[in-house]
């Protein structure tokens, strides 16, 4: 929603700038014929400051925000063949890896104290958390949680494909 508004604002200003450029061209012609350069200079200044404003607004639409992911805990994780679950979570935002938690050995209801930060997040980016069970040879993927992030502090419960639930909180802004 925010992004849509930013695009609309940006497009409106693009129209305004186009109109200003047309007006300036006309005005410059008119003033050079009638009054010399003094008025032309003020039109130049006006168009120039509008361009700066446009650049500022374009920058705003690409503005990055800080994402913080924390309070990770799981409940009811399924046990593997050896009867233990050694859970850990890997965290991604918009295909960037933010890192992974430590492994909580032999615990179906683990929690993790690690926090993850990403300074280039934008509203609408996809936050992805993967819950794994570490094994001797190949780790098992228990489930994946992903959603588009929104500004503010948000907590979610996510049901994992192979069983159990992941709880997490993130803050964007």
Note the residues at the interface with Ca ion (CB under 5 A). 80, 86, 133, 135
Residue nearest to Ca ion (CB): 86
Closest contact distance (angstroms) between CB of 84 and Ca ion is 5
- What are the two backbone dihedrals, phi and then psi, of residue 123, each rounded to the nearest 5 degrees? -55, 135
Closest contact distance (angstroms) between CB of 98 and Ca ion is 23
Distance CA 109, CA 71 (A): 13
Which residue, 86 or 123, has its beta carbon nearer to Ca ion? 86
Closest contact distance (angstroms) between CB of 85 and Ca ion is 6
Closest contact distance (angstroms) between CB of 86 and Ca ion is 4
Distance CA 33, CA 41 (A): 14
Segments in the chain forming alpha helices (H): 2-34, 38-61
Closest contact distance (angstroms) between CB of 71 and Ca ion is 24
Which residue, 65 or 103, has its beta carbon nearer to Ca ion? 103
Which residue, 44 or 80, has its beta carbon nearer to Ca ion? 80
Report yes or no: 164 and 107 within 8 Å, Cβ to Cβ. no
Which residue, 87 or 91, has its beta carbon nearer to Ca ion? 87
Report yes or no: 141 and 83 within 8 Å, Cβ to Cβ. no
In the DSSP assignment, the letter for residue 81 is T
Distance CA 127, CA 168 (A): 11
Which residue, 135 or 157, has its beta carbon nearer to Ca ion? 135
């Amino acid at each position: 929603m925010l992004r849509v508004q930013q695009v609309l604002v940006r497009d409106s200003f693009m129209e305004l700038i186009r109109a200003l450029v047309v007006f300036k061209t006309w005005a410059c012609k008119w003033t050079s014929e009638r009054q010399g350069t003094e008025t032309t200079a003020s039109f130049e200044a006006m168009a120039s400051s509008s361009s700066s404003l446009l650049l500022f607004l374009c920058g705003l639409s690409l503005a990055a925000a800080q994402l913080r992911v924390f309070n990770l805990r799981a409940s009811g994780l399924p046990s593997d063949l050896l009867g233990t679950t050694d859970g850990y979570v890997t965290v991604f935002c918009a295909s960037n890896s933010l890192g992974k938690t430590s492994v909580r050995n032999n615990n179906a209801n683990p929690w993790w104290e690690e926090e993850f930060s990403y300074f280039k997040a934008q509203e609408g980016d996809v936050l992805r958390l993967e819950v794994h069970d570490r094994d001797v040879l190949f780790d098992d993927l228990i489930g994946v949680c992903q959603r588009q992030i929104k500004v503010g502090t948000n907590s979610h419960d996510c049901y994992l494909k192979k069983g159990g639930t992941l709880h997490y909180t993130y803050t964007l802004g």
